[in-house]
Structure 1
């Protein structure tokens, strides 16, 4: 099982994730990624639900098998190949498929227009505001955030800056702008800020106003 980089403590944040057409599943996600992929963990109850839904979905060539306290992720074959054996962590949660299962954070807000605009901006190229300037785009769901992308912040005079701001605003999405050494550090700072401000909010509570696009964060001192 993949874990946090050496020297970086694990920090978990409330979320909801999907696996292809299965889910959403209540989860916690690490504040950094593995090769760009989110890393969730689940309660045993939610893990049981995931196992049941995977067995009924022929489009996902995986199964979960409980062997005592451990959970095995099984691939195809006869006998099936064990892709991962996962035991509960100190808090009784299972971190499944880090680095090879394409988990996605669930959002009820359509990010398609933003995704297209970001693809166009990055394909065309743009001058960054600074080498260490990052934007974390996300859907604000009140109790939790669904991070959609972390990208270099365009210079304010670049056409890409206005284009991305406008599509975030029109789509009802949010973003933080921050200074960080890398994308992972920017995402971690964003999750820390959001979590600190919304820790009192219960799941499924509607929060208004949402975080506005281009909300500026100070550099994370941690």
Structure 2
């Protein structure tokens, strides 16, 4: 199991959202937070609100315990839970920042 540290993360103007981090970042310098399913549901609502303003914006769906990232009507990422039961959403291409 990974030694996670509780934190808060933002995605552009969205958030902050509760998350866990091990301090890692991806090559582009953005954070790689992990989320509980409860926080994934909060993120889903926030993204749905953005999609209402900007159609095609990324949205999330949960199917069979897997988080699906959708963009412009197409599933672009599947996020199953990791060994700790946490979800990595938008890793490597979303602009996550840890506060």
TM over 0.5: yes
How far 1:86 moved relative to its partner? 0.4
Offset from partner CA, 1:7-62 (integer Å, 9 cap, x none): xx854322100111211101012322111111001110010010011001135810
Residues 147-168 of structure 1 show CA distances to partners (whole Å, capped at 9, x for unaligned) of: xxxxxxxxxxxxxxxxxxxxxx
2:36 alignment partner in structure 1? 43
On the 8 A contact 1:30/1:38 being kept in 2, the answer is no
Partners of 2:70 and 2:76 within 8 A in 1: yes
Helix, strand or coil: the match of 2:44?
A: helix
Count residues in correspondence. Answer: 95
Partner of residue 19, structure 1:
11
Could you list the runs of 5+ residues in structure 2 that have no partner in the other structure?
none
**Which residue does 2:60 correspond to in 1?**
64
Shift of 1:81: 1.7
How far is the alpha carbon of 1:100 from its aligned partner?
0.5
- Largest Rg, 1 or 2: 1
User: In the aligned structure 2, how far is the partner of 1:39 from the partner of 1:10?
Assistant: 13
Shift of 1:90: 2.2
Q: TM-score, normalised by structure 2?
A: 0.85
2:21 to 17, 21, 29: 29
Q: For 1:45, what is the secondary structure of its paired residue? A: helix
**Structure-1 residue corresponding to 2:85:** 92
The runs of 5 or more residues in structure 1 that have no matched partner are 1-8, 107-222
Structure 1 residue runs of 4+, over 3 Å off? none
